[in-house]
Every structure is written in structure tokens, then in C-alpha cells.
Amino acid sequence: MAKKIQALRGMNDFSTLDTVVWQWVESNIRKTLSSYGYGEVRNPIIESTALFKRGVGEATDIVEKEMFTFTNRDGELITLRPEGTAGCVRSAVEHGWIYNNEQRMWYMGPMFRYERPQKGRYRQFHQCGVEVFGINDASADAELILLTANLWKKLGIDKAVHLEINSIGGQESRQKYRDALVTFLEQHLDILDEDCKRRLTTNPIRILDTKNQDIQAVLNNAPKLHDFLNEEEKSHFAELCNILDSLNISYTINQKLVRGLDYYNKTVFEWITSELGAQGTICGGGRYDGLVELLGGHSCAGVGFAMGMERLVLLVQAVNSDKDFANAIDIYVVNQGDKAKIKAFELSDIIRNNLPKLRVMQHTSGGSFKKQFKRADKLNAKFALVLGDNEIENSEVILKDLQNNVDQMNIKEDQLIETLQNIFYKG
Ligand code: HAM
């Protein structure tokens, strides 16, 4: 046998059993987004590297060390998208979708980051991202949070997640805070690890979400970001909190929540679960009012989030472990003989066309009736429709309930649809 070739590290294959859960999650997401009036955009998976360097930020982990970057045949530097916001904004600017226009958009698809794989963290993963353009008011931030809260209920995971929010202000406030934080941390250089020492010069605010507990203890006495916000930023955040309180959406304010991408200002938020171990953030986002301009557009407010689909699916499976996501086969069409085979093709399609909600699978690999019924059992089919020489002769079919111990029925061919309708659609 030839040597097997394996998938690349951090890349997953999903079986037909896995995708049943994915499809269930995706369809709930699509329905929810549609019910809020959001529309789908589709962007390329590859963009020019410059987009992410400028959009996500040179001093972020993503751009510094996680991008899959290549030179194409023309010598152009291109990158597999590590996230969706930069590409979405690029497309909106390029085509004028947000010029003087409010827009509510979403996208779903694969993203790529060269990270160390572990449960919930992969090199190819999937996001569903949602972006709202042209609305300065905190109502847009609140709408996004409300939308996610409703989605968690539909997915049955609302009891397993909690919301953290923060305001990181605008550039000016952040610069002042950054200076104060650096001055504070310079008095504690002895406890900083190598990574934090490096960040002290490149991106000091990111030190706030270090996992190092000793540094976290020192950070408890560090200057607080909210003391540096201006009045407008403070009132924007107060308005968001006010709406969330009025809608009974619980949250904690985490002043150390700063997010790993450079485009954010004002609101940032994350939905976190403790069910998945270290990779517990299932959804993260915030406001990015300067990004459209940074990428060559006219000034335009933006706010959005992305959910990690793998983490959502893992959480849905962990919380709903008893739920049967699979749509079992409703009717397995058992057939023997050449005429019965052709009739099986015809009747299967007649059922599918008349009763489109039913899942009808035809047995196509021959063999005894016994073998065919075994296959139906393996598929957990609800009914078998049986066609043999006798049935063809009498223009009949046999319908056998495979899950309840009741007598099989002989049904005239022209009565079949009505009978199935009574069984599957009534009661
Ligand atoms: P992010 O926090 O980098 O934000 O990613 C959003 C979510 O994607 C994370 O919360 C996580 O669930 C999932 N995720 C990230 N990296 C991985 C990975 N290596 N493996 C599995 N899942 C992962 C963004 O990407 C922003 N573009 C979100 C946004 C949209 N902000 C505003 N608009």
C-alpha cells in the first residue's frame, strides 16, 4: 500500500456526522441574522499582505507571527485572511457600499492563523463575522450584543456563556493611558517576562491581558484605563451599559479587556465560556471607527464581532449532549428486480417532489431484502418502502414501520403520497 498523506497540522476534516451539528448551528445563525435585517457579503480568502499589516496592525500577534504569507508568481506578497474585518472593510470601500450609507453585513468562512494548535485553537478555523457601518450611537453596539444573546438562547448555550465589556477610548485617550501604563510598568521591570518586556515598547496595552499571574497581580495596582477616557467616550460607554441594563443583559466590566487587534476604539466585548478549557472566547468584537479611513475610505463608524465556529460547535455539543442533531432518513426504499429498481427511482423522486421535507434514500447496491433491511436499520430509517416483483405486478408498495411494532401496510401506488402525508404531516 502506498504511504498515506496526512492533513497539515492544525487543519481539520469534518465528517458527515460532524457537519450535521455545523449545519444546525449555521442555520440558526443565518435565521437570526436575517431576522435582524443583516445581509451576507462574500470576500476572497486571499488578500494583499499590506491590508492586514495596515488594518490589523504591525504590532499585533496576528501580523507579527501568525499570518500564512506567500509571494505569488508576480512577486506580490499575499496572505490567507487571518480575520474578516479588514477584507470586509476593503470591499466596502472599494465598491462604495458604505459611502453615506448605513450597512449591516455578515460573512462566514475559513480564516488562517499560524498558531500552536490545541482544543479550540486551529490553523484553519471558521468565523461568522458581523459588521455594522455608519452608526456612531451606542445603540449599534447594543444591538450586536442583543443579537448574540438571542442567538445563544436558540443554540441552548445561554447558561454556559458570560459577557465581558470594556471601553478602550479613542486614540488620544489611549496614548495618555499608554504613557501612564509604561511609566508604571517601568517600576516593575523585574517581574515582566520577555514577551511583556518586548510589548512595553511595541504594544504596552496588550500587557493587560497577559496570562502570567504574577504580572496580573501587579497590574491590579496599575492606572485604570477608564480614568483616561474623555467625556464623549465615557458617555458612549454609559449609554451602552444603560441599554444592556434596561434589556436585562448581564455583563461584567473588565477594564483589562483590550482585544488583540489594533483597530478597536471605545467598546470592546467578548463572550466567554468556562466549558472549553483555555480557549474559552467564543465571540469577540468591538467598535472600529477609524478603520474605514485607515483603509482609504471616507470617515465612517464601524462596529462588529466574530464568533469562532469550531468553539461554538464544541460548546453546543458539550451543552446539548443528548440532542439528536441528525435528520434521520425517513424512508429507505428497498427494491429487488430490474422493474422494481426503475420503479424505486421513479417513486423516490415522486415522494421527494411532493413531500420535500422528507429524507428519502434509495437502496442502490443490490443484495437480498435481509441485507437491505439491515442497511435501513443502520441508517436509523423510520420507514422502509418495499418494492419487489409482486408489488410491481399489483401496482402496490409495502410500507413497513421500522421503529414501531405495527403491521406493514400494502398501499396502492396512486394512494402513496396521500398515505405518507397522513403519516408524516398529521399528528
Ligand atoms: P478575534 O478575537 O481575533 O476577532 O477572533 C474572533 C473569534 O474567532 C475568537 O473569539 C475565537 O472564537 C475565534 N478564533 C480566533 N482564532 C482562532 C483559532 N486559531 N482557532 C479557532 N478559533 C479562533 C476577530 O477576528 C475580529 N475580526 C472580530 C471583529 C469583527 N471585530 C469587529 N468586527
Confidence of residue 159 (pLDDT cuts 50, 70, 90): very high
Average pLDDT, rounded, for the chain? 96
Q: What is the pTM of this model?
A: 0.93
Q: How far apart are CA 336 and CA 39, in angstroms?
A: 49
Q: How far is the CA of 270 from the centre of ligand 1 (A)?
A: 10
Q: What are phi and psi of 332, to 5 degrees?
A: -105, 120
In the chain, the percentage of residues whose pLDDT exceeds 90 is 95
pLDDT of residue 328: 86
Kindly tell me the sign of the dihedral angle through the C-alpha atoms of 140, 146, 151, 157: positive
Amino acid in position 120? G
pLDDT of residue 153: 98
427 has pLDDT over 80: no
165 has pLDDT over 70: yes
Residue nearest to atom 20 of ligand 1 (CA): 121
- How would you list the strands of the sheet with 360-362, edge to edge? 360-362, 331-335, 383-387, 396-401, 409-412
Ligand 1 lined by 267 (C-beta under 6 Å): no
Ligand 1 lined by 284 (C-beta under 6 Å): yes
- Say which residue, 320 or 114, is predicted with more confidence: 114
What is the pairing mode between strands 281-287 and 265-273?
antiparallel
426 has pLDDT over 90: no
Kindly tell me the sign of the dihedral angle through the C-alpha atoms of 406, 407, 412, 413: positive
Specify which residues 69 forms β-bridges with. 79
**Mean pLDDT score, 374-381:** 95
Residue-wise pLDDT tens digits, 336-364: 999 999 999 999 999 999 999 999 999 99
Atom of ligand 1 nearest to the CA of 307: 7
Residue-wise pLDDT tens digits, 183-221: 999 999 999 999 999 999 999 999 998 989 999 999 999
Residue-wise pLDDT tens digits, 270-328: 999 999 999 999 999 999 999 999 999 999 999 999 999 999 999 999 998 878 787 78
Q: How far is the CA of 52 from the centre of ligand 1 (A)?
A: 14
Ligand 1 lined by 57 (C-beta under 6 Å): no
Q: How far apart are CA 398 and CA 419, in angstroms?
A: 12
Q: Which of 11, 127, 270 to mutate to test the pocket of ligand 1 (most atoms within 8 A of CB)?
A: 127
Residue nearest to atom 16 of ligand 1 (CA): 121
Ligand 1 lined by 290 (C-beta under 6 Å): no
14 has pLDDT over 80: yes
DSSP readout, 310-350? Answer: HHHHHHHHHHTTT-------SEEEEE-SHHHHHHHHHHHHH
pLDDT of residue 325: 82
8 has pLDDT over 90: yes
Residue-wise pLDDT tens digits, 239-256: 999 999 999 999 999 999
Residue-wise pLDDT tens digits, 117-144: 999 999 999 999 999 999 999 999 999 9
Q: How far apart are CA 382 and CA 353, in angstroms?
A: 19
Residue nearest to atom 30 of ligand 1 (CA): 305
pLDDT of residue 263: 97
